[in-house]
Amino acid sequence: MSMDCFDELRAFHAAARLGGMSAGARHLGLTQPTISAHVAKLERRFGVELFFRRGRRVELTDFGRSLLETTHRLYDAEAEALSLLAQGGSAYRGTLRICAVGPYNVMPMVREFRRTHTGVHVVMQLGDSREIVEQVLDYRGDVGVLVHAVEDPRIHCMPYRKQPLVVFCHRDHPLTAMRTLTLMDLNAQSFVLREKGSTTRRVLEQVLARHGVSIRCDVEIGSREAVYEAVAQGLGLGVVSAAAYRPDERTVSLPIHCDELFTHVHVVCLKERRQSLLISRFLEVVERLR
């Protein structure tokens, strides 16, 4: 392959990954006409259409999306090779991008990984499960840590640990007077819950439904911290993972005995990237911690 073709392919990858010719040009330090010309030459060279052009906007064709998946692997491998050369084989270096639904389960993984990979820069981003899967699929995240399995043929999904759920309430709530509780004691109680896409909420509602228990969601909030504060203010009962629960002088956890109230932490990555140097090392750490 000629050097011209490599330049054209790199121009395509930058424009496709960043969503436009101008953004790709800025990333490569080129002018917009130059990167557009590179992409046009690549299309003519192989007789393919990579972008739909709508004025200043461009959109990948199906063929362009397929090529982008391949160039992602190409330039990931290039970056990995350069990182390996730079370190001279003495230590792992580079950047590992981790996406997680919360900090509590992922931090022990990061701590153990950093203990043996001190030269690796870890970048972490928190989001909901949908965002994490999208970031992994779009190559914006290397690995994801979430609290349910992902059924997608493109995704490698590693079970990690079961995570019990804790139901908690304001310290003056009538339920705190009971020494032990069953799920039926939650019937008709008012809850402060996360949005409907929350795995914790979905598990709670499914378990209660199986036992014929009906609750009210009088307050719906999109952040864990806000749920804590709402419960502390007496607005209803809350539910969080045991790892995320933080005792507060205003709240108490309820002694509910139910083996079904749990989520399952999973670590995910693209199947095609499972053997990538840093990703494979991180998965080895997770395997040891299980």
Closest CA to 138 of 234, 222, 65: 65
pLDDT tens digit sequence for 78-100: 887 777 776 655 456 788 999 99
The two beta strands, 51-54 and 57-60, are antiparallel
Q: What is the pLDDT at residue 88? A: 58
Residue 38 confidence (pLDDT) above 90 = yes
Alpha-carbon gap, residue 24 to 10, rounded angstroms:
9
Q: Can 3-68 and 83-160+265-289 be said to share one CATH topology?
A: no
Domain 83-160+265-289 maps to which CATH number in 1.10.10.10, 3.40.50.2020, 3.40.1160.10, 3.40.190.10? 3.40.190.10
Mean pLDDT of the chain: 91
Q: What is the pLDDT at residue 1? A: 57
Q: What is the pLDDT at residue 85? A: 74
176, with CB counted inside 10 A (0-12, 13-18, 19+), is middle
Looking up tokens 């009962």 gives 237
Tokens encoding 78: 């290039």
Residue 113 confidence (pLDDT) above 80 = yes
pLDDT tens digit sequence for 171-214: 999 999 998 899 999 999 999 999 887 889 999 999 999 999 99
Average pLDDT over residues 3-10: 86
- What type of residue is 37? A
Closest CA to 277 of 135, 94, 121: 94
CA-to-CA separations, 270 to 69, 72, 191, 223, 280, in angstroms, rounded: 11, 12, 37, 28, 11
Query: Could you tell me the residue ranges of all domains in the chain?
Result: 3-68, 83-160+265-289, 163-262
DSSP classification of residue 177: G
Alpha-carbon gap, residue 186 to 175, rounded angstroms:
9
CATH architecture of the region 3-68: Orthogonal Bundle (1.10)
Residue 62 confidence (pLDDT) above 90 = yes
Q: What is the pLDDT at residue 63? A: 94
pLDDT tens digit sequence for 18-27: 988 999 999 9
Of all residues in the chain, the percent with pLDDT exceeding 90 is 70
Alpha-carbon gap, residue 38 to 3, rounded angstroms:
12
Tokens encoding 255: 């002694």
| CATH number listed for the domain at residues 163-262 | 3.40.190.290
